[in-house]
Structure 1
Amino acid sequence: MTTANTATKPLAVDIAIVGGAMAGATLALGLAKLSATLSPATLSRPLRIALIEAHVSNNNHPGFDARSIAIAHGSIFELNRLGIWLKLQHLGTAIENIHVSDRGHFGMTELNAKPLGLDALGQVVELAQVGKVLFEQLAKSSVEVFCPAKVTDLQAQQDGHLLSLDNGTQLHCQLLVAADGANSVVRQHLGQPTEQIDFNQTAIVANVSTDQPHQHWAYERFTQTGPLALLPMRSASTSSAANATKSSSASVQSRFSVVWALPPAQAEQLKHADKAEFLAALQQAFGHRVGNFVDVGQRVSYPLTLSYMPRPIYHRCIFIGNAAQTLHPIAGQGFNLGLRDVVGLLNVLEQAFSTYQLANTSTKVDVGSSAIVHQYLAARQADRDNTLRNIEFLVRGFSNQYWPMVAGRNLGLRLLSWLPPLKRPVAQTAMGWR
């Protein structure tokens, strides 16, 4: 990895990506693959891609920490196309079934992979392990990685952006991609606005152990305080990022990643409660469908908001992933929406190069042109708007205790169970099929 560049002349690159977590690293690898597949007639030289990341990839990396995420089936398909999933699949735990319920009410339903002709609805991976693999692949690629390095100054220019890094490097790029998370430094430098919806909830995230095998079931349970999700994980004996220790019942024990939405004061109290108190509260909120909760690892918390940029573009700049929008974890769509941002940008660039090749023109493709930036915006707008709207609807609809709303949502869940054909569009949405 590059650590410094003392040359006085800025390093000229085609695309600079700020932020090397899931979205940024995936985009960098996708761009490297795209560049390698373009013919010399289309691209006189390979695309020069720079990735700037402030943190070394380890368990303390804010984007590759001890959390787990669910990668939907549609996202697995796209990662396969990019040649990335092959390197990650050994880290995955299949989600074969999803159980959805409304605590204290009659509404519940299941989504199952087999009726859809699939082996799994998605895969659960631990971010710390994914980060290690992605950076190993970046080291083998044509991407120029600047890590650890932070952007200290950013100047928008007519033909691109000039970036100054804290290690003395200066970069000039035609296209700048901001993938640097919810507190995007790029967005702050460019003074771009966001809109925010505060749900007055805090999520507790932890890995827990149960005394029964998970059998590849995931759970979404809506409680009076907010959603409580459990994602199946690999056993601690096969995971280097195990936050939940083994119990004496290791032969049947399984691990789940828990995301539990609570009022801020209650979340703070349970975050610091002793193990027995926390497990008792979790058991009371979730029930015994997965058996008894027997252990819990480190607990972290973060406020739950929906934050988004009305227009995730700027002059020669595109915002993707959490830099463009951060979602409530309900339905687990955060990374999956961010990956669709990545794929959308790759598709727009691939189309631009294909059009150039067919036109047989001497004018080279300007990857940061206004046309490309606005094509990306148009390509992503409908999916992005629909996802944001659906997430807000789910959060408000399932947190509302007004009895007509309770009756309506429980009837809806029951109808999904009584009329299996209704499940297919719901499952397709959950799996990221568009």
Structure 2
Amino acid sequence: MTSAHTSTQPLAVDIAIVGGAMAGATLALGLAKLSATLSRPLRIALIEAHVANHNHPGFDARSIAVAHGSVFELTRLGIWPKLQHLGTAIENIHVSDRGHFGMTELNAKPLGLDALGQVVELAQVGKVLFEQLAQSAVRVFCPAKVTQILAQTSGHLLTLDNGTQLHCQLLVAADGANSVVRQHLGQPTEKIDFDQTAIVANITTDQAHQHWAYERFTQTGPLALLPMSSASNSFKSNSFKSKSFASKSSATPTQSRFSVVWALPPAQAHELVNGDKTEFLAALQQAFGHRAGRFVDVGQRVSYPLTLSYMPRPVYHRCIFVGNAAQTLHPIAGQGFNLGLRDVVGLLNVLEQAFSAHQLTNSSTQVDVGSSAIVHQYLVDRQADRDSTLRNIEFLVRGFSNQYWPLVAGRNVGLRLLSWLPPLKRPVAQTAMGWR
């Protein structure tokens, strides 16, 4: 799929995106849509190191929750209509504190909505996004890796592992938590280690999920269950679908699948992720309870350490960092992709405003998409949302992974108040749905 470029001169592009997973691919498609409205189309390049199959670290067999606000933005960009057949609606969310009286529900119907969000499997989404990219004006280099970045006054000179060179006015880093761009440019990150490890797996239960999602706070950390489509209804034509995360037995009409994210102390997580399947299901059942039914099967279990890492300033000279390249969140509340998508939408909005303002001046010059004015405006526009989300995530992790009795009492009273006073739910639901 690598785009060919045989000239000895660098390929000149306006915007080069490094990283073609969810954030990068979405940004590229959004830029292509914006470009179609301009008198001079944007020259866009997308550089991705991995082919979009189940071995892709950004398009593996995990599932993510796409909040209602994110569905709205993806629809506005023309992307969601191509993905909606892959989604499983979250109509209700049950939140509880194990061993205590605190619990509440968030429901779509009282808010006048069909769903609070959608659950999609990344392996399926990756195939669809790259099919859309192949039909767009975006020049895709895949598989290709950036081996050198040379910052220049007018932009960045990128060298790829096949020898191709590109010169861009604006460089966008969308290449994940271990961003190669960030390393090349020597940009710092801050890191908070929660001393937790997440186990991720797909499980089968003996009863239908009825479009319920669950967030249960346990003594070891949060335990989340996201409803998934039945195995029989999955995207069977998707040759990228990984069998490693899938449950070995297909869910019957009276069964259902959930994506599980379970935070545990590292030693306990290591034992459970490598132990017997029956023992894992028993431990999971004990931690969660029977509200979702009996857990009857589990696919491959994987684990990763839970941290919150972020760039204090997710910008550099003619460079903007988005998604996990800018910040990597604890999975509590499922805000990682949704915050990254707001980064993407924020950049698209800044560029659209710049082109609109330029058109009003009737200037014969072109918009410099990597100018300090555009980069700074992006930083200013994203700061409040980004800072508040990072603070809220840290507060939730520390507040609900703590057995200090005043905190336990406070959080349980808070959950009960949400149940007793329904008007209080609306701002909580709006935050969960990514409404800004």
TM-score bracket for the superposition, by shorter chain length: over 0.9
The equivalences for 1:292-311 within 5 A come to 292-311=294-313
- Assess if the C-alpha contact under 8 Å between 1:228 and 1:259 holds in 2: yes
The equivalent of 1:150 in structure 2 is 145
The equivalences for 1:155-304 within 5 A come to 155-239=150-234, 240=236, 241=241, 243-245=245-247, 247=249, 250-304=252-306
Of residues 69, 77, 81, the one that matches 1:74 is: 69
Q: Secondary structure at the match of 2:353?
A: helix
Q: Secondary structure at the match of 2:374?
A: helix
Separation (CA, whole Å) in 2 of partners of 1:393 and 1:248? 38
1:7 positional shift: 2.0
The equivalent of 1:2 in structure 2 is 2
1:247 positional shift: 4.6
Separation (CA, whole Å) in 1 of partners of 2:414 and 2:229? 33
1:238 positional shift: 1.5
Q: What is the alpha-carbon root mean square deviation over aligned residues?
A: 1.0
- Assess if the C-alpha contact under 8 Å between 1:209 and 1:244 holds in 2: no
The equivalent of 2:342 in structure 1 is 340
The equivalent of 2:376 in structure 1 is 374
TM-score (norm 1): 0.98
1:20 aligns with 2:59: no
- Structure 2 CA distance for partners of 1:5 and 1:109, relative to 1, 3 Å: same
1:184 positional shift: 0.2
Q: Secondary structure at the match of 2:357?
A: helix
The equivalent of 1:37 in structure 2 is 37
Separation (CA, whole Å) in 2 of partners of 1:201 and 1:25? 30
1:245 positional shift: 3.2
The equivalent of 2:401 in structure 1 is 399
Structure 1 gap ranges (5+)? none
Cα deviation, 1:339-372, whole Å, max 9, x if unaligned, reads: 0000000000000000001111222210000000
- Assess if the C-alpha contact under 8 Å between 1:397 and 1:405 holds in 2: yes
Cα deviation, 1:77-116, whole Å, max 9, x if unaligned, reads: 0000000000000000000000000000000000000000
One-letter amino acid matched to 1:28 = A
Q: Percent same amino acid at aligned positions?
A: 87
Q: Secondary structure at the match of 1:171?
A: strand
Of residues 40, 50, 57, the one that matches 1:55 is: 50
Of residues 318, 327, 330, the one that matches 1:316 is: 318
- Structure 2 CA distance for partners of 1:17 and 1:285, relative to 1, 3 Å: same
- Assess if the C-alpha contact under 8 Å between 1:10 and 1:171 holds in 2: yes
Separation (CA, whole Å) in 1 of partners of 2:124 and 2:282? 30
Separation (CA, whole Å) in 1 of partners of 2:3 and 2:290? 51
The equivalent of 1:426 in structure 2 is 428
Moved over 3 A (4+): 240-249
One-letter amino acid matched to 1:229 = A
1:8 positional shift: 1.2
The equivalent of 1:138 in structure 2 is 133
Q: Secondary structure at the match of 1:134?
A: helix
- Assess if the C-alpha contact under 8 Å between 1:247 and 1:294 holds in 2: no
1:249 positional shift: 7.3
Cα deviation, 1:273-315, whole Å, max 9, x if unaligned, reads: 1110110000000000011000000111111000000000000
Cα deviation, 1:198-255, whole Å, max 9, x if unaligned, reads: 0000000000000000000000000010000000000011224463336597230100
Q: Secondary structure at the match of 2:36?
A: helix
- Structure 2 CA distance for partners of 1:269 and 1:145, relative to 1, 3 Å: same
- Assess if the C-alpha contact under 8 Å between 2:232 and 2:250 holds in 1: no
Of residues 356, 361, 377, the one that matches 1:359 is: 361
- Assess if the C-alpha contact under 8 Å between 1:400 and 1:406 holds in 2: yes
Of residues 416, 419, 426, the one that matches 1:417 is: 419
- Assess if the C-alpha contact under 8 Å between 1:4 and 1:168 holds in 2: no
Separation (CA, whole Å) in 2 of partners of 1:397 and 1:270? 25
Paired residue total: 429
- Structure 2 CA distance for partners of 1:121 and 1:248, relative to 1, 3 Å: closer
Of residues 129, 133, 137, the one that matches 2:124 is: 129
One-letter amino acid matched to 1:403 = W
One-letter amino acid matched to 1:99 = H
- Structure 2 CA distance for partners of 1:248 and 1:85, relative to 1, 3 Å: closer
Q: Secondary structure at the match of 1:37?
A: coil
TM-score (norm 2): 0.97
The equivalent of 2:114 in structure 1 is 119
Cα deviation, 1:127-152, whole Å, max 9, x if unaligned, reads: 00000000000000000000000000
- Assess if the C-alpha contact under 8 Å between 1:98 and 1:110 holds in 2: yes
Separation (CA, whole Å) in 2 of partners of 1:333 and 1:174? 30
Separation (CA, whole Å) in 2 of partners of 1:211 and 1:244? 16
Separation (CA, whole Å) in 1 of partners of 2:354 and 2:381? 13
Separation (CA, whole Å) in 2 of partners of 1:97 and 1:327? 23
1:422 positional shift: 0.2
1:3 positional shift: 4.7
Q: Secondary structure at the match of 1:306?
A: strand
Structure 2 gap ranges (5+)? none
